[in-house]
Amino acid sequence: MFQGIRISGFGGQGIISSGVLLAYAGMLDGKHVSFFPSYGAEMRGGTANCSVVISSDDVTTPVVSQPDTVIVMNEPSLAKFEPFLKPGGLMIINESLVKSRPQRKDIKVVLVACNKIADELKAPKIANMVALGAFCKQTGALSIEAVAKAMPKVFKRAKPEILELNIQALKRGAGLN
């Protein structure tokens, strides 16, 4: 099992924390993992992206050059990462914010209204968790339970009710409720 993932969006959308959460969940699940942030001079509103590898084997390079999955959280990220996605790869698109669609026909596209669902949960900041829920469902690389278990380890200062809200968002992303 091998999943090379790129998550990309605006600074402030929780791109980096989503990546750390995936890596942590993979580790708790007994997988080999790595996380690498693109740490340019980004700030809130700038662009941010990260590489995550979840693998049953040793992780070689942490920089994912040909991702199996790309999670596109904002408009500019689509054009940036579409060319690099592996043939047959998965593109999860936050359709609440991304209006264009990929040109490639050799990839699988899943549209998720991340911001809309997060707004319905009255927590606009957790659109990233909706996307992770969709990732879990589509790839089977990680279970929702594994990601939920990693949450208190990564979001150490979060109150229980906030963690619960994040889990709700994961489930909504996975289409579970």
> According to the binding rule CB under 8 A, does residue 98 interact with another protein?
no
> Please, what is the minimum distance in Å from the beta carbon of residue 89 to another protein?
15
Residue 65 binds to another protein (criterion: CB under 8 A): yes
User: Is residue 36 within the footprint of another protein (CB under 8 A)?
Assistant: yes
Q: Give the H/E segment covering residue 108.
A: strand 108-112
Nearer to another protein, 28 or 110 (CB): 28
Asked if residues 26 and 142 have their Cβ atoms less than 8 Å apart, the reply is yes
What is the sign, positive or negative, of the torsion defined by CA atoms of 16, 144, 67, 73?
Answer: negative
Q: What is the dihedral of CA 168, 177, 30, 57, to 10 degrees?
A: -120
**Helical segments of the chain, H only:** 15-28, 75-81, 114-120, 127-139, 144-154, 160-173
Q: Tell whether residue 39 is a contact of another protein (CB under 8 A).
A: yes
Q: Going residue by residue from 144 to 163, which x/- string records binding to another protein, judged by CB under 8 A?
A: ---------x----------
CB 90, min distance to another protein, A = 20
Task: Decide: 114 and 127 in contact? Cβ < 8 Å.
Answer: yes
Binding piece for another protein, criterion CB under 8 A, among 59-67, 73-81, 123-131, 169-177: 59-67
Number of residues forming the site for another protein (CB under 8 A): 22
Interface with another protein (CB under 8 A): 20, 23-24, 27, 32-37, 39-41, 58-63, 65-66, 153
